[in-house]
Amino acid sequence: MFLVAVLLASLAASQFLMRSWTLVGFPQEIRYGEAVVLDQARRVMAEPGLYPEIGKEPWLLDQYAPFYPFLAHIVGKFSSSPYGGGRAISMLATLLSAVMLTLIVRRSSGIAAGLLCGAAMLTMMEFLRFGFLMRVDPLALSLAMIGVWCNLHQKTSVRIFGAAAFFFAVYTRQTTVALLLVSYIQMWRQEGRVALRWPLSLLAVGLLFYGFLVLVTDGAFHHHAVMSNLFHFEWAEGLKKAFSSFMPWRAPLFIGIFLALIPGPEPGAIRPRRARTAGFLVMGLALGCCVQALIQFVVPISDPAVVNKWICYGHVVLFGYATWTIFRGTSATRGDGIGIDGVRIVMALASMILIGRIGSDLNYLFEAGILMLLVCGGAIGRVAPPRALIISLLLAIQVLGGFYLSGLQLEFQPERLLEMKERHRIIDHLEVYPDPVLSEEPWALAQTGRPLMLGPYTARQMYDIGLWDGKDLIAALDAQRYSAIVRAKQRSYAGLEHDVNGNVIIAADGLPIPYFGPWTFNSVRSLPLEIQQAIEGNYQQAPGTTMIERVTKYYLEGREIWVPIPR
């Protein structure tokens, strides 16, 4: 198994490096949010600074603590690409997280199990898509993983270093707390109340620093941090993001988790045979909830929303069973066995809830994936050899499946990158227009170091929850304050072309030929309708500035530059 683990880890690391290294220096925003972070890194040393007054121009909301923008600002000076510094930080942080995961699992289950878990992490969809982007998530995760590893040691100096890592993890991304909580719960279960001095001391230092940030920003940091957590949740979309890739991306891991949680013949266990029987029955119930996902994967005939709901029910069953194992743990497993594994799964599933917030994406699954792998990896060294081998094989399948499926992802194919590069036409056109410029596409300004007047996503969400009415922006538009406005729309396919016999027409690429509906605004990050109407009442399209980007064969994005109507 050791040689197999080495081979799989080498494949996973090589694939991640090749995929990310080719994109680290790519000069365009790959996913929405990178340009906003790039602007935050600029504002570390430029006006208006981080955490500007909410509700006034510029309409920006800095959701996270200042650690990552400061670091990206420093590292960015050594990159020729606007996003290169931030992406390099994220790529290295993701690799560091995989290394730390390997070392943590190695302590209890050996190097082969550790390598399997590290390889599985690097082939998960969330890390393949977000593990190298200019976002705060990879750095926060790597710092939390360092903290977990340090807490496994008894030396005070090492634990102090771990507490510092947790501190910076939270002050990189405030919601990175699942690994922190599990780590200190495990310490408490192993060492008793004396261990509470570590999390309580960390909490005290964290609150003091929070007070310091609030003081030096005149309360702005608090307002920004609180405001960003008031955005609406969209549960149907959250279920889609969390579970639409369950089959086949996460199915092996899901089975492995149950095999890890179901008790074996541990010393001191009460009625172990009955507990195992109950565990396998619960596992069967959870897998039964996921049968539709398997059918849908083979023959897509069901409503995907219904399938996602059933997968969610399967995870609810897992949540209930994991909760039960927390209190069923014997003295032999106290703090380091099934009991703490139950805590890990409960915290993993709880952390997934945040993906339901509008605008969230797979990066909100980082901690959940790590915690699930810790459960499987730890079980390999604890359960009987036959079951340990099955869990190892499931992890190997997880790696091979992710390795194969990642090659089918279309978002970073050469033709897609060529489409992205055409964005330079908008940026080039903007050179003749002086600041301030208003843009619904942050990359149009941030990539050349120009200031953002507005964060489209956060501004739209503040408008939707009633914390900003947009009247001040409408007044600025009526006064034609902006020399130019970059507008953005989207166009989805409305149906498929048919021939005279009613058959779907297939193109040379083997895919059906679509026809498109009208251009529409993005409901998550386009400016509200009354602001769009104010733009159209005071500005007009600049000739020759339209740019259409084909995201997929069935989805287009369009941008135009609008200029003031002469008066």
> In whole angstroms, how far apart are CA 17 and each of 10, 98, 250, 503?
10, 12, 22, 43
**460-493 residue pLDDT tens:** 999 999 889 999 999 999 999 999 999 999 999 9
Rounded mean pLDDT, 349-376? 95
Residues 103 and 15 in one domain: yes
Residues 8 and 156 in one domain: yes
Residue at which a domain ends, from 406, 424, 439: 406
Residues 424 and 402 in one domain: no
Q: In the chain, what percentage of residues exceed pLDDT 90?
A: 77
Residues 383 and 427 in one domain: no
Alpha helices by DSSP H, 422-497: 424-430, 443-446, 456-464, 471-478
**553, pLDDT greater than 80:** yes
Give the pLDDT of residue 17.
93
Residues 368 and 479 in one domain: no
**420-442 residue pLDDT tens:** 999 999 999 999 999 999 999 99
Give the pLDDT of residue 332.
40
d(CA 559, CA 490): 9
Sequence-ordered list of residues with C-beta below 8 angstroms from that of 232, at least 6 positions apart, any chain: 357, 358, 461, 464, 465
Rounded mean pLDDT, 188-206? 94
Residues 384 and 418 in one domain: no
Q: Average pLDDT of the chain? A: 92
Residues 449 and 546 in one domain: yes
**272-291 residue pLDDT tens:** 788 889 999 999 999 999 98
Give the pLDDT of residue 296.
79
Q: Which pLDDT band holds residue 82 (cuts at 50, 70, 90)?
A: very high
Q: Which pLDDT band holds residue 410 (cuts at 50, 70, 90)?
A: low
**101, pLDDT greater than 90:** yes
Residues 356 and 457 in one domain: no
Rounded mean pLDDT, 528-533? 96
Rounded mean pLDDT, 503-515? 89
**329, pLDDT greater than 60:** no
**266, pLDDT greater than 60:** no
Residue 498 is given by DSSP the state: B
- What value does the CA radius of gyration of the chain take, rounded to a whole number of Å? 25
Total domain count, the chain: 2
* Closest residue by Cα to residue 117 from 21, 227, 23, 5: 5
Cβ atoms of residues 232 and 354 within 8 Å: no
Residues 457 and 343 in one domain: no
* Closest residue by Cα to residue 359 from 465, 271, 275: 465
Q: Which pLDDT band holds residue 331 (cuts at 50, 70, 90)?
A: very low
**220-247 residue pLDDT tens:** 999 998 887 788 898 888 999 999 888 8
**500, pLDDT greater than 90:** no
* Closest residue by Cα to residue 287 from 341, 238, 247: 247
Give the pLDDT of residue 300.
75
**141-182 residue pLDDT tens:** 999 999 999 999 999 999 999 999 999 999 999 999 999 999
Residue at which a domain ends, from 353, 377, 406: 406
Residues 394 and 452 in one domain: no
Q: Which pLDDT band holds residue 338 (cuts at 50, 70, 90)?
A: low
Instruction: Give DSSP secondary structure letters for 337-370.
Output: SHHHHHHHHHHHHHHGGGGGBTT--GGGGHHHHH
Give the pLDDT of residue 337.
60
Please report, in angstroms and rounded to a whole number, the separation of the first and last CA atoms in the chain: 76
Residue at which a domain ends, from 389, 406, 423: 406
* Closest residue by Cα to residue 122 from 15, 242, 243: 15
Give the pLDDT of residue 330.
45
Structure tokens at 99: 């290394």
Q: What domain range includes position 461? A: 414-564
**265, pLDDT greater than 80:** no
**411, pLDDT greater than 80:** no
Residues 425 and 396 in one domain: no
Q: Which pLDDT band holds residue 456 (cuts at 50, 70, 90)?
A: very high
Structure tokens at 299: 């023959």
d(CA 432, CA 423): 16
Q: Which pLDDT band holds residue 91 (cuts at 50, 70, 90)?
A: very high
**9-62 residue pLDDT tens:** 999 999 999 989 889 999 999 999 999 999 999 999 999 999 999 888 999 999
For β-strands 484-496 and 437-439, DSSP reports them as parallel
Give the pLDDT of residue 271.
58
Q: Which pLDDT band holds residue 336 (cuts at 50, 70, 90)?
A: low
Residues 80 and 135 in one domain: yes
Of 270 and 407, more confident: 407
